Amino acid sequence: MSVNNGTRPTVASFFSGIGGFDLGFQRARFKVTFQCEIDSFCNQILQKHWPDIPRAKNMREITNANVPLSDVWVGGFPCQDVSLARMAPRPGLKGKQSRLFHEFARLIGEGRPRVFLIENVPGLRSSHGGRDFQIIIQTLAELGYGVGWRVLNSKYFGVPQSRQRIYIVGCYRDGRGPAEILFESERRTRNDEKNGSDGKEAVSPFKKVVGNSRKGPVTPALAYCLYACSARHTGTDWSRNYVSYPDGRVRRYLAVECERIQGFPDNWTLPSDPPDDADKLDSLRYQTLGNAVTVNVAEWLARRITRYLLKPGTANAAVHLNGTAHTNGAAGPLNGAAQSIASARSLRNLGWGRLEGSPGKR
């Protein structure tokens, strides 16, 4: 489809979880066309909010033929094998979970979406001394994409949580596209019409607290990063986030409070048919929220991608599908020059990632 003819841009979601990417892109007026998620509880949440969307479970079993034609593909392949939070040596891309990146790359190679967006933990960059990250970037570049990355912190996007994640963007046959999506122009002293708003101010990183100091409850103004944890308190699974009371009582964040910290509406993770075991339900909600993409960050990226897709010369760009070039419904064979994207040239465009910070703050 072409996004300059008044139709909504489209997004296909992989490793969908509870729909953080999906909700963020939907808020930016994207139409969700497809979801892929293997977890049964996550599928209950996806079914509740997107009952009519085609959905698959196993990344290893789907091909491009299963995925509706979409402008953008998004996904956050499992991070367990590359995360620094792992209490053991990191197997990296050879691990049982994180090796699913290769399945996503296979699908991207088959479908060649115009833009893809991948989310993961910052530890991905250091896995196996950086070799895993190099494999990821080189694999995607060799598929014909200009690739860039940036670490973004959720606290700069209107939620009270310090949560750093790496976002990798690929634009088919366009080495400049990822930088246009991931980075703004230099911050000015005020908002302007050309560059738009500088965005919401971040919650202060200092240890400020909010609440009633005499009656309670009291909680830090900025939460630590939410992790996937259970409903039990084992000493480490509360992610250092507590609500305290002057009389000495302490409790963890409620699941609904975690939803708010991640940018979801209240009770987003309550399934239509919840289990009778309240602790089990809470554990499922905490785990999936800890693994989720912050909705506000996804929405910001979606709006940046929309601007890119609408840019003259981009909205009508050819989409490579099964060896043919599709432009607004017309198809024809690709010439040799168009099929060949020099990996060396693509890799030279990979330096857009060391910058970490907020929108508009360099």
Give residue-wise pLDDT tens across range 242-281.
788 888 888 889 999 999 999 999 999 999 999 899 999 9
pLDDT at residue 90, as a whole number: 63
pLDDT at residue 343, as a whole number: 32
Highest mean pLDDT (candidates 134-143, 208-217, 224-233)? 134-143
pLDDT at residue 336, as a whole number: 28
Q: Lowest-pLDDT range, 70-79, 118-127, 329-338?
A: 329-338
Q: Helix 101-111 vs helix 131-142: angle between axes, to the nearest 10 degrees?
A: 10
Would you say residue 315 has pLDDT above 50?
no
Would you say residue 362 has pLDDT above 50?
no
The mean pLDDT value for 83-101 works out to 63
Q: Lowest-pLDDT range, 12-21, 43-52, 200-209, 319-328?
A: 319-328
Would you say residue 31 has pLDDT above 80?
yes
Would you say residue 331 has pLDDT above 80?
no
pLDDT at residue 247, as a whole number: 85
pLDDT at residue 106, as a whole number: 94
Instruction: Specify burial of residue 36 (Cβ count, 10 A radius: 0-12, 13-18, 19+).
Output: buried
pLDDT at residue 73, as a whole number: 98
Would you say residue 222 has pLDDT above 90?
no
Domains of the chain and CATH, by start: 10-198+293-357 (3.40.50.150), 209-290 (no CATH)
Position 323 confidence tier, pLDDT thresholds 50, 70, 90: very low
pLDDT in tens, 138-151: 999 999 999 999 99
Q: How far apart are CA 37 and CA 98, in angstroms?
A: 14
Position 333 confidence tier, pLDDT thresholds 50, 70, 90: very low
Would you say residue 64 has pLDDT above 80?
yes
Would you say residue 186 has pLDDT above 50?
yes
pLDDT greater at residue 237 or residue 73 = 73
Sorted by sequence, the CB contacts under 8 Å of residue 30 that are 6+ apart come out as 8, 9, 10, 11, 72, 302, 306
Classify 323 in phi/psi space as left (phi over 0), alpha (psi -120 to 50) or beta: left
Position 38 confidence tier, pLDDT thresholds 50, 70, 90: very high
3-state secondary structure 214-248: CCCCEEECCECCCCCCCCCCCCCCCCCCEEECCCC
**Mean of the per-residue pLDDT values of the chain:** 78
Sorted by sequence, the CB contacts under 8 Å of residue 322 that are 6+ apart come out as 64, 110
Would you say residue 286 has pLDDT above 70?
yes
Chain centre distance of CA 361: 20
The mean pLDDT value for 107-125 works out to 92
Sorted by sequence, the CB contacts under 8 Å of residue 81 that are 6+ apart come out as 90, 91, 92, 93, 94, 95, 96, 97, 98, 99, 127
pLDDT at residue 199, as a whole number: 52
Strand ranges, E, within the chain: 10-14, 31-36, 55-56, 72-75, 115-120, 145-153, 164-172, 209-211, 218-220, 242-244, 250-252, 319-321, 324-327, 330-333, 356-357
pLDDT greater at residue 218 or residue 18 = 18
79 belongs to the catalytic site:
yes
Polymer length of the chain: 362
pLDDT at residue 101, as a whole number: 87
pLDDT at residue 80, as a whole number: 60
Of 42, 79, 225, 258, the catalytic one is: 79
pLDDT greater at residue 87 or residue 90 = 90
